[in-house]
Amino acid sequence: MTLNTIWVDADACPNAIKETLFKAANRIEIPLILVANHYIKVPPSKWISSIQVESGFDVADDYIVAEVNKDDLVITSDIPLASELIEKGAQVITSRGDIFDKTNIKQKLNMRDFMDTMRSSGEHSGGQAAMNAKDKQTFANALDRYLARFNKKT
């Protein structure tokens, strides 16, 4: 397995996670591409870039799916997007450090669909808690473990 590029579904990616990714991309010298339907400021680096796509439903997601290669890493918490990426052979980590793969993505999709059904029937679920320091550390640890498989500099 070869890690070529790290892609970020950047529209909803927390800034603290982006900062962690910026440091990692520079440290291991791997391309990091943030994709969003609005301008994303990135630090000056030959390893880091941002792509602004048109506004619209799933435009950024569709761009990532079209451009991602087998074994690329994608940072997203979008479960349907993660499912498409896994089918293409990409690796997926959420901004909270969860790893989505072929062994768990169907279950995640089923739970997402169930929760959508509950919300549409009037049941309120409250949503996900705000990101905290433990979540940021969990992400950083998951990213480091993942990247360590490819590069001895990590």
> Which pLDDT does position 46 carry in this prediction?
97
Lowest mean pLDDT among 71-75, 95-99, 112-116, 145-149: 112-116
The residues near 7 (Cβ < 8 Å, ≥ 6 apart) are: 33, 35, 64, 67, 68, 72, 73, 74, 75, 90
DSSP state for residue 12 in the 8-state scheme = S
Instruction: Tell me the C-alpha distance between 133 and 56, whole Å.
Output: 32
Q: Can you give the pTM of this predicted structure? A: 0.84
Domain count, the chain: 1
- pLDDT tens-digit readout, 58-96: 899 999 999 999 989 999 989 899 999 999 999 999 999
Is residue 117 very low, low, confident or very high in pLDDT (cuts 50, 70, 90)?
Answer: low
Over range 96-124, report the average pLDDT.
72
The answer to whether residue 154 sits within a structural domain is no
Task: Look up residue 74 and give its two tokens.
Answer: 């994608």
Instruction: Look up the CATH number of the domain holding residue 79.
Output: 3.40.50
Q: Which domain holds residue 24?
A: 6-148
The answer to whether residue 153 sits within a structural domain is no
